[in-house]
């Protein structure tokens, strides 16, 4: 999949960096507890392209924070595809921040900062134009953790499962706190034959 012409065309100038990252994940991901063994044959479909699907919905400039970045999904993929964006990778586990720092150095991603800690530890420390996350927490919790990092007028743009609409009602109070309306549910499409990704976008109003 990763070497196919449609994938190369989709990533364009970012392909070499993204492919290098995918190979690092393939070689070290299971060993370092970043992805499970069954994920190895599906790195491109399940992880790289899934992460890339969020990129068209992010701002083209400014700063984006990836909360609970883990192996760097989607943050590293975003940084490789959007070199004009400043990307902050927020991750509490030391072994994962060590990995992320190695990836950033190996790929020469000069637009990335790695910050060790939980999202709530950075409330008041910085604000960004958008926050993203993948498989981190239920929506109500994720909004509480992440929205304080978003500037007023900025957005949370997160990757979720198909049934995410079921999480809207429990999150209604926290949406109201930040002046957010009903989130948009968007379809993240990448290359033919790869399942579309569900993306949720919600704006901070106050």
pLDDT digits (tens, 9 = 90+) for 43-102: 999 999 999 999 999 999 999 999 999 999 999 999 999 999 999 999 999 999 999 999
pTM above 0.85, yes or no: yes
pLDDT digits (tens, 9 = 90+) for 11-29: 999 999 999 999 999 999 9
For residue 34, name the pLDDT band (cuts at 50, 70, 90). Answer: very high
**Average pLDDT of the chain to the nearest whole number:** 96
pLDDT at 135: 78
Asked if residues 22 and 44 have their Cβ atoms less than 8 Å apart, the reply is yes
């Amino acid at each position: 999949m990763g070497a196919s012409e449609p994938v190369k065309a989709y990533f364009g100038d970012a392909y070499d960096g993204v492919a290098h990252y995918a190979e690092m994940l393939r070689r070290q991901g299971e060993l370092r507890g970043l992805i499970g063994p069954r994920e190895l044959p599906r790195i491109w479909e399940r992880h790289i392209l899934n992460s890339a699907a969020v990129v068209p919905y992010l701002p083209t400039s400014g700063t984006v924070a990836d909360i609970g970045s883990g192996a760097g999904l989607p943050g590293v993929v975003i940084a490789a595809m959007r070199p004009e964006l400043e990307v902050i990778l927020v991750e509490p586990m030391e072994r994962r921040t060590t990995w992320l720092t190695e990836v950033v150095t190996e790929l020469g991603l000069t637009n990335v900062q790695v910050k060790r800690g939980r999202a709530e530890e950075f409330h008041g420390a910085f604000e960004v134009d958008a926050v993203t996350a993948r498989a981190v927490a239920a929506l109500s919790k994720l909004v509480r953790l992440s929205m304080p990092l978003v500037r007023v007028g900025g957005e949370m743009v997160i990757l979720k499962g198909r049934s995410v609409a079921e999480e809207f009602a429990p999150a209604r109070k926290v949406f109201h706190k930040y002046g957010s309306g009903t989130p948009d549910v968007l379809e993240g499409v990448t290359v033919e034959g790869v399942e579309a990704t569900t993306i949720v976008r919600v704006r901070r109003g106050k």
